[in-house]
A and B are shown apart, each in its own frame.
Chain A
Amino acid sequence: MINSYTQKLEQIIVEMNAAVSNGSVDIATHEYQRWLDFLKHIHPESDVLKQKSAVIIDENFNKKVRILSNMQEIMRLAEKQRYPTWFIHPSCGESLVLEYEHGVLKNDTEKDRSIPKTLKGFTGKIHGVSSANSQFIAHDINTVMPFLKKMEILKNYGFTTTEFVLFPTDKIPTISSSKLIASFQNYISKARSDGLSVDGVIVVSDVPLFPVDNELSSRKMLFQII
């Protein structure tokens, strides 16, 4: 059922979508996402939600990742956010952004045959790394969606995706920081034994970890093993 107030909300969201798409500084992408979530909650049948143009560009895409080397800081962050769902994947290789327009790759990638030249119907960017054997490993898309959804889409497109695991933040009260660091080191060692040049672990969150920043991602952090 729709009422006049829901219609007003839909109109506001359409205007927000246009503003975000045009790179307006008045509203951040994650704030707009909250309005969409609210509309989904009160009127899931809304046509605004069904429109394909309601694609939200991820403002964190390809931003630098904040580097942390203090495990206690990460644990405090998890506690303050009431132990959210996080994922971790290795931080490695040379960063590369692939750009697709109407399904066609615009980058010159002659060397790497693992990169699909066409992705049916896709316009956007894909971030990944080039491993030591010149294989492209994808780990991000430039639209806002949960991390697991991104990995699923990338796999469906035929990309090799990064190896990732769930970070059990709810276990933090029962494990010391030294043991958690040891777990991360084991994870890195395994990645290195698979031939990757790893310098740390990237922690990915679907909700912002830090305030919005022009240079640094608000949803990722790099735990560097020194």
Chain B
Amino acid sequence: MNLDGLELTLTPRTAIDSYNLQINQSTLDILSLILEFKVATSWQISRFLTQKDQSKYLYLKLHRMWQAGLLESFKIFSGHQAAIPLYYLLAKKGLSILKQKGIYDPKYIKNYPPTKALLSSTFFKHEAQVIELASMEAKNKTKNLNLTFKGELGSGSHDWRSDKNIEVFTPDYTVLYTVGTDVMHIYSECERTLKSKEAMIHKLERYVLHLNPEHRRQSIVRLIFQTPNMEQSFWLNILSNKAHFLQTVNVMTTNLLCLEDHKQFLEPIYVSPNTVKLTKEGRLGVDTSSRIKLLPFL
């Protein structure tokens, strides 16, 4: 999706429809998903809830939730008439319902970004990519492999040392991979832009410092880079400057070229400290050609 010529305008609603929308579990699931990921299309919601790209029921449900004032919507005009995606975001009424139900910490609801902030181009581009990746991954859920998703909001961490709820690290989204009784937390960071070396080190350092030691064995910090070059730069940076981080935190990386299809999430597309190799052809580099699966049992 080309987002360069972005125009974000809320779909006008002349009046809140008096349709008596039932606030059932399906409604709450949708509200929660959109709260976590900020913006979502109907196909992305469908992927999370049904593992399919399309659901007529959800399409209608979302439309009714919008008519009832629980959601706002906007279309992305990118200069082409074809394929104009419709995005949904939470309206005040939807936030209020979640607050009433007590599903989330009231502090999160209170600090939820205003609609104006969500509609800013930079913010939207990032959030749109995050939910697209997460929803693709959600399609891999099966009866043997359970995947549970939390957006940035639900991924915030409790500082184990001070026993306080503070944002010590905020992955873009977190997936819990559950097979039988084994649960692995995958803290996923989507690296859309090239950050400075210091910024990347600082990001990883937050996990090193704040991830509960007992939790480390059951968690992986997964970095999804825009390009292979960005991925290689990361490894060269970490191996050259903070190699000891890799003894504390399980880190794995991949890039978008490896993720053309949802099934690729389960394929050997990840670089880990055990597979990456330093090379020296003139100057120091890294070889990221050897790749493994995110989890051995996938």
User: Chain A residues near B179 (CB, 8 Å)?
Assistant: 72-73, 76
- Chain A contact residue count (CB 8 A cutoff): 14
Is A177 within 8 A of B296, CB to CB?
A: no
User: Chain A residues near B182 (CB, 8 Å)?
Assistant: 76
A72 is contacted by which of B263, B291, B298 (Cβ under 8 Å)?
B298
Is A72 within 8 A of B144, CB to CB?
A: yes
User: Chain B residues near A73 (CB, 8 Å)?
Assistant: 179-180, 297
Is A70 within 8 A of B268, CB to CB?
A: no
Determine if A178 is an interface residue (Cβ-Cβ < 8 Å).
yes
Determine how close the nearest CB of chain B comes to the CB of A95; give it in whole angstroms: 29
Determine how close the nearest CB of chain A comes to the CB of B221; give it in whole angstroms: 18
User: Chain A residues near B297 (CB, 8 Å)?
Assistant: 72-73, 75-76, 79, 172, 177
Interface residues of B in 242-272 (CB under 8 A from A): 263, 266-268
User: Chain A residues near B267 (CB, 8 Å)?
Assistant: 176
**A177 CA / B295 CA spacing, docked (Å):** 11
User: Chain B residues near A178 (CB, 8 Å)?
Assistant: 263, 266
B268 is contacted by which of A72, A79, A176 (Cβ under 8 Å)?
A176
Determine if A214 is an interface residue (Cβ-Cβ < 8 Å).
no
**A172 CA / B266 CA spacing, docked (Å):** 12
Determine how close the nearest CB of chain B comes to the CB of A83; give it in whole angstroms: 9
User: Chain A residues near B296 (CB, 8 Å)?
Assistant: 75-76, 78-79, 172-173
Taken residue by residue from 141 to 182, chain A's Cβ proximity to chain B (1 for < 8 Å, 0 otherwise) reads as: 000000000000000000000000000000011111110000
Determine how close the nearest CB of chain A comes to the CB of B259; give it in whole angstroms: 14
A173 is contacted by which of B145, B180, B266, B268 (Cβ under 8 Å)?
B268
Is B293 within 8 A of A173, CB to CB?
A: yes
**A46 CA / B141 CA spacing, docked (Å):** 56
Is B144 within 8 A of A173, CB to CB?
A: no
Given the known interface contacts A72-B145, A75-B296, A76-B297, the answer about A174 and B180 at a Cβ–Cβ threshold of 8 Å is no
Determine if B109 is an interface residue (Cβ-Cβ < 8 Å).
no
User: Chain B residues near A76 (CB, 8 Å)?
Assistant: 179-180, 182, 296-297
User: Chain B residues near A175 (CB, 8 Å)?
Assistant: 268, 293
Given the known interface contacts A76-B180, A76-B297, the answer about A177 and B291 at a Cβ–Cβ threshold of 8 Å is no
Is B180 within 8 A of A176, CB to CB?
A: no
**A70 CA / B145 CA spacing, docked (Å):** 10
**A172 CA / B182 CA spacing, docked (Å):** 17
Determine if B86 is an interface residue (Cβ-Cβ < 8 Å).
no
Determine if B292 is an interface residue (Cβ-Cβ < 8 Å).
yes
**A49 CA / B49 CA spacing, docked (Å):** 62
**A79 CA / B297 CA spacing, docked (Å):** 8
User: Chain B residues near A70 (CB, 8 Å)?
Assistant: 144
**A173 CA / B291 CA spacing, docked (Å):** 9
Is B145 within 8 A of A174, CB to CB?
A: no
Given the known interface contacts A75-B297, A79-B297, the answer about A174 and B266 at a Cβ–Cβ threshold of 8 Å is no
Interface centre among B267, B297, B298 (most CB of A within 10 A): B297
CB-based nearest B residue for A83 = B296
Given the known interface contacts A70-B144, A72-B179, A76-B179, the answer about A174 and B291 at a Cβ–Cβ threshold of 8 Å is yes
Determine how close the nearest CB of chain A comes to the CB of B220; give it in whole angstroms: 13
Taken residue by residue from 268 to 298, chain B's Cβ proximity to chain A (1 for < 8 Å, 0 otherwise) reads as: 1000000000000000000000011100111
User: Chain B residues near A78 (CB, 8 Å)?
Assistant: 296
Is B268 within 8 A of A177, CB to CB?
A: no
Given the known interface contacts A70-B144, A72-B179, the answer about A176 and B298 at a Cβ–Cβ threshold of 8 Å is yes
Taken residue by residue from 59 to 94, chain A's Cβ proximity to chain B (1 for < 8 Å, 0 otherwise) reads as: 000000000001011011011000000000000000
Is B298 within 8 A of A177, CB to CB?
A: yes
Determine how close the nearest CB of chain B comes to the CB of A82; give it in whole angstroms: 11
Determine how close the nearest CB of chain A comes to the CB of B288; give it in whole angstroms: 14
Q: Which residues of B contact A (CB under 8 A)?
A: 144-145, 179-180, 182, 263, 266-268, 291-293, 296-298
10 closest A-B pairs by beta carbon, nearest first, are: A75-B297, A173-B292, A76-B297, A79-B296, A174-B268, A173-B296, A72-B297, A176-B267, A174-B292, A176-B266
Q: List 26 A-B contacts (CB under 8 A).
A: A70-B144, A72-B144, A72-B145, A72-B297, A72-B298, A73-B179, A73-B297, A75-B296, A75-B297, A75-B298, A76-B179, A76-B182, A76-B296, A76-B297, A78-B296, A79-B296, A173-B268, A174-B268, A174-B291, A174-B292, A174-B293, A175-B268, A175-B293, A176-B267, A176-B268, A177-B298
